[in-house]
């Protein structure tokens, strides 16, 4: 005997009818949603996968209606141009390779980068970068204090904070003296093998002062993603197989924050004696106007 059989046939009929109708509505809703989503995704993939395709952007208030404004990512252009200029294995570049790459990056990102400044250079300009932890910025600093927003914490909090200080100690003597510049320097810092620089062991003090918070440009040659950062620590050790390290934020900006958190990058000094170029991601876009 079915103890749960309804004794009200009319009610049972309406209930089944409502369930059937609700199921049809739900299925139609999902079908429509996925159809629209698929169309949007396919359209996006077509835009991304079509070589040389640029998206027209119009600005009626700023230009004639007979013109179209086209924007092209110079970062993507750089990645395309570097394809056959970078060796397949992550080795030190030859002087000729280094010069070609340096000029390409200068041209596409419009930044004055150099492999050598004042007769000083690192042991290489192409190597493997690995993820580093946050650094203490001032006495009493905490990992939680590094997060400016909840999103910051979600993205970078899990990286933790190094138990020791960077190569030059704290970024500032006290929290009271902590400035936005100090914050940016820790946020976008690099650990670089300064100790392997030619001439370092003979002039330690001179090289130490030269490298302290020296600006550098780091570029992911596969994607063109780039970031301006400072040298905030020394390392990593040679036995690690890595040639430099990047803060959690640096790794994110060059597209290497996921998976093994490492990958090949180009890195050059940024010649900015007036300190005019801000730290952070470099996203260059070329705008052009064309008649229709």
Checking if the pLDDT of 166 tops 70, the result is yes
| E strand or H helix that includes residue 282 | strand 280-282
- Model confidence band, residue 68 (pLDDT cutoffs 50, 70, 90): very low
pLDDT, mean of residues 124-136? 98
- pTM reported for the whole predicted model: 0.75
167-219 residue pLDDT tens: 999 999 999 999 999 999 999 999 999 999 999 999 999 999 999 999 999 99
**230 and 144 in one domain?**
yes
The whole-number pLDDT of residue 125 equals 99
Q: Give the integer Cα–Cα distance in Å for 47 and 230.
A: 35
* 222-to-4, 50, 54, 158 alpha-carbon distances in Å: 64, 17, 20, 26
Does residue 134 sit in the same domain as residue 270?
yes
Q: State yes or no: pLDDT of 63 exceeds 50.
A: no
Number of domains in the chain: 2
Residue 285 confidence class, pLDDT cut points 50, 70, 90: confident
Residue 292 has pLDDT above 90, yes or no: no
In a domain, 83, yes or no: yes
Residue 64 lies in a domain: no
Lowest mean pLDDT among 51-65, 222-236, 240-254, 261-275: 51-65
pLDDT number for residue 34: 41
Q: What is the DSSP secondary-structure string of 164-218?
A: S-BTTB-SSS-GGG--HHHHHHHHTEEEE-GGGSTTTTTSHHHHHHHHTT-EEEE
Average pLDDT in the chain? 83
Q: Are residues 130 and 230 in the same domain?
A: yes
- Are 30 and 134 within one domain? no
Per-residue model confidence as pLDDT tens digits over 3-62? 444 444 444 544 554 455 455 544 444 444 444 444 444 344 433 444 443 444 444 344
Residues 126 and 218 in one domain: yes
Does one domain contain both 17 and 84?
no
Note whether 83 and 36 are same-domain residues: no
The predicted structure's pLDDT at residue 16? 54
The answer to whether residue 160 sits within a structural domain is yes
The full length of the chain comes to: 292
Structural domain containing residue 234? 74-284
């Amino acid at each position: 005997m079915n103890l749960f059989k309804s004794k009200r046939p009319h009610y049972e009929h309406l209930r089944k009818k409502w369930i059937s109708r609700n199921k049809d509505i739900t299925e139609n809703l999902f079908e429509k949603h996925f159809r629209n989503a698929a169309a949007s995704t396919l359209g996006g993939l077509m835009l991304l996968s079509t070589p040389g395709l640029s998206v027209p952007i119009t600005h009626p208030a700023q230009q004639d209606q007979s013109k179209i404004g086209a924007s092209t990512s110079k970062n993507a252009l750089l990645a395309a141009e570097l394809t056959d200029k970078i060796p397949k294995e992550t080795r030190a570049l030859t002087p000729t390779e280094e010069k070609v790459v340096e000029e390409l990056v200068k041209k596409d990102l419009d930044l004055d980068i150099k492999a050598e400044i004042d007769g000083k250079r690192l042991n290489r300009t192409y190597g493997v970068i690995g993820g580093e932890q946050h650094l203490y910025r001032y006495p009493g600093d905490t990992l939680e204090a590094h997060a400016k927003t909840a999103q910051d914490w979600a993205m970078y909090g899990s990286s933790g904070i190094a138990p020791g200080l960077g190569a030059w100690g704290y970024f500032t003597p006290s929290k009271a003296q902590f400035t936005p510049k100090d914050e940016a320097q820790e946020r976008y810092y690099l650990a670089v093998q300064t100790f392997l620089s030619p001439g370092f062991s003979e002039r330690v003090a001179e090289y130490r002062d030269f490298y302290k918070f020296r600006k550098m440009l780091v570029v992911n040659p596969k994607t063109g993603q780039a970031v301006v950062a400072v040298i905030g620590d020394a390392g990593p050790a040679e036995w690690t197989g890595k040639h430099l390290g990047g803060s959690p934020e640096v790794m994110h900006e060059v597209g290497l924050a996921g998976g093994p958190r490492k990958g090949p990058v180009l890195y050059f000094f940024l010649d900015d004696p007036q300190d005019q170029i801000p730290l952070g991601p470099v996203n260059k876009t070329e705008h052009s106007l064309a008649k229709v």
